[in-house]
Amino acid sequence: MAYRISAFRYAPYQYKFSNEVKELLPQHYLRRCKEYMEADPLTVHWQPDTRKFTVHPKTGERVKVQNVPLKVMYPEVSNKDLWGGEGIIVGHRKKKHLSPKTPKLWLPYIFKRPLYSEIFDKFYLVRVTPRTLNLIDACYGFDHYILQTNEVNLNSQLGMKFKREMLVALATNDFYDGQPEKQGKILKRYEKYMLPLEEAEWIGLPAGEAVTKAREIHAEENPTIPLKEYFIDELSEKFKETSLDDDSSESQSWINKLNIFSKSDEAKKS
């Protein structure tokens, strides 16, 4: 099963599942995957025209406004960084008189910065863009930025990994060990983001890891019984059903068939 993504949108990763594993994955995880694939991210490098019609500057005719988004690429390395929605713009240089078009790439300005997580009480050295730092400041902290930003706008597997680990820590109280006062303050400050543990563990999980985890859970809940054990149990049940004190010819013949050392009736007569 593959969710449909917009033809004008380029994402650093996608969610694609076969019909076989669809039944194994939890519904809340599939719902979030669908939202990520079908949602439109915030426009960063261009602003769409909200008008429906405009006047042509030369002809004066009333024409319909067409919002064609810029072609923004997100390489695989962006999954290890936090670009804040920025990407690589693909276009052409401004054409001069009688000169051919030449392709050009506009790269985002990326640098390393230490980001402090209040939940984990530690710094993380992450490659970011200036827009990422502005968004963190607007959200009043790195943890708030990660937890309240939608997956389609984080647009990074590193960002979703931070979110998953933060939500799991909040669900299990796995932070500030031995400091109940700080734990209480953190829980009160971030309680609006909290989710049940069985749901938090699936937040932003990559498709391959999600399938592996779903199959492991299914194998634990439905263990495979070897045929050897199955036939042993079946044979034991037959022994329980048949009484050895029964002198009927039918039961004796059945027991003789099971006993490989018993002689046939013809051998006994001879």
Structure confidence at residue 79 as a pLDDT band (50, 70, 90): very high
Contact 78, 129 (CB under 8 A): no
Model pTM score: 0.79
Provide the token pair at 138: 């607007």
| Adjacent-strand bridge partners of 117 | 122
pLDDT exceeds cutoff 70 at 251: no
Domain ranges of the chain: 19-210
Rounded to an integer, the average pLDDT of 114-123 is 95
Provide the token pair at 137: 């400041």
Q: CA–CA separation, 94 vs 104, rounded Å?
A: 10
Provide the token pair at 86: 């920025």
Structure confidence at residue 146 as a pLDDT band (50, 70, 90): very high
Percent of the chain with pLDDT over 90: 51
Q: List the single range of 19-28, 115-124, 228-237 with lowest mean pLDDT.
A: 228-237
Q: DSSP class of residue 5?
A: -
CA 243 vs CA 59, 233, 248: distances in Å: 103, 17, 10
